[in-house]
Amino acid sequence: MAETKTVGVVGNGQMGSGIAQLAALHGLHVWLLDTDPDALSKARKSVTSNIHRLVSKGHLSQAAFNDAVGRLYCTSKLEELREADFVIEAIVESEDVKKKLFLEVDKFVKSSAILASNTSSISITRLASATSRPSQVIGMHFMNPPPIMKLVEIVRGADTSDETFYATRALAERFGKTVICSQDFSGFIVNRILMPMINEAIHTLYTGVATKEDIDTGMKLGTNHPMGPLELADFIGLDVCLSIMKVLHAGLGESKYAPCPLLVQYVDAGRLGRKRGIGVYDYRKTPEQVKPSARL
Ligand SMILES: NC(=O)c1ccc[n+]([C@@H]2O[C@H](COP(=O)([O-])OP(=O)(O)OC[C@H]3O[C@@H](n4cnc5c(N)ncnc54)[C@H](O)[C@@H]3O)[C@@H](O)[C@H]2O)c1
């Protein structure tokens, strides 16, 4: 398979903009695509300013900055992805919405292109079944934030070819990531283990066992986690956590994966975490509350 030169990143929220940044910094031409024009311009701004920060810190030359930013293109049209060798989808965590997108992308990109999903939990096999190229569909699960976190979890669907796997692994390694490989079962490796822990932390809060601060401090100092589970849930996005719990519950069929009612209520109330200024914690008030850890 030819080397990847052009990447399309579909969905430019928290994850997509970080993936686009990585790709631009590693010499690729990058098409950013989002249906929301505000998200697209915010993503372009954040990618540009994050790369510029590397120049300010002396980690990158001005010429390399100009090159990376010059390889970023924004669009809202799938037709523009026709030159892409590799498309990474990072839209909302909904199987129906992702399937619809895969069906459409499949029509516009060249026949050799690989279609990867950054899904946290949804079946790659089912996303692949919406396309005419299931052997070229794969899960490429970056962690948040993609430029910082070292891991990429690669998920092979039932029909993913070895060629697709090797090309995806080569791309992740080009980004400097360590790769782990999972079979295609709900939640894969990382979220199969992480999300029930976050859900249990929310249950611990819901049932009045402890305050949110004590739950997070307990897990940070008691188990050496860098962030408490509630703080992490806000960072990931409570809507994303809820979607993943629903996928685990439906896919693995055990009541232990049922989302905590308090998680459901937070999402119903629009308390989605840091991105909305309020989740388990309220980030809108005093400067100390911007960082829960500052109170501990
Ligand atoms: N947030 C995390 O910590 C995290 C970590 C790993 C993986 N993921 C996965 O990454 C994906 C994206 O998560 P996020 O946190 O970046 O979400 P987000 O809400 O920040 O961004 C999603 C973006 O997708 C855009 N979008 C929605 N439908 C679209 C469509 N049909 N076509 C084009 N753009 C569309 C939205 O406008 C938005 O900008 C999800 O599948 C999620 O499970 C998230």
The 10s digit of each residue's pLDDT in 174-193 is: 999 999 999 999 999 999 99
Q: Rounded to the nearest whole angstrom, what is the distance from the C-alpha of residue 215 to the centroid of ligand 1?
A: 28
Is 184 marked as a binding-site residue? no
Residues with CB under 6 A from ligand 1: 10-16, 33-36, 39, 90-93, 97, 101, 118-120, 141-144, 236-237, 240
Q: Rounded to the nearest whole angstrom, what is the distance from the C-alpha of residue 10 to the centroid of ligand 1?
A: 9
Query: Could you tell me the domains of the chain?
Result: 6-183 (3.40.50.720), 191-276 (1.10.1040.10)
Known catalytic residues? 120, 141, 153, 191
Alpha-carbon span 241 to 267, nearest angstrom: 10
Give the helix/strand (H/E) hosting 88: strand 86-89
* Mean per-residue pLDDT over the chain, rounded: 95
Alpha-carbon distances, residue 85 vs 53, 115, 154, 292 (angstroms): 29, 9, 18, 42
The pLDDT score that the predictor gives to residue 293 is 46
The pLDDT score that the predictor gives to residue 295 is 37
Classified as helix, coil or strand, 9 is strand
Q: Can you give the pTM of this predicted structure?
A: 0.91
More confident residue, 295 or 211: 211
Alpha-carbon span 244 to 246, nearest angstrom: 5
36, 92 in Cβ contact below 8 A?
A: no
114, 163 in Cβ contact below 8 A?
A: no
Please identify, by atom number, the ligand 1 atom nearest to the C-alpha of residue 142: 6
Is 219 marked as a binding-site residue? no
Classified as helix, coil or strand, 278 is strand
122, 141 in Cβ contact below 8 A?
A: no
pLDDT tens, position by position, 47-56: 999 999 999 9
Give which of 125, 123, 117, 120 is closest to 158, Cα–Cα: 125
**Residue 34: how many other CB atoms lie within 10 Å:** 24
Burial of 151 (0-12, 13-18, 19+ CB in 10 A): middle
Give which of 187, 184, 185, 191 is closest to 160, Cα–Cα: 184
- Our mutation pick for probing the ligand 1 site, out of 9, 17, 32, 34, counting the most ligand atoms within 8 A of Cβ, is 34
Is 183 marked as a binding-site residue? no
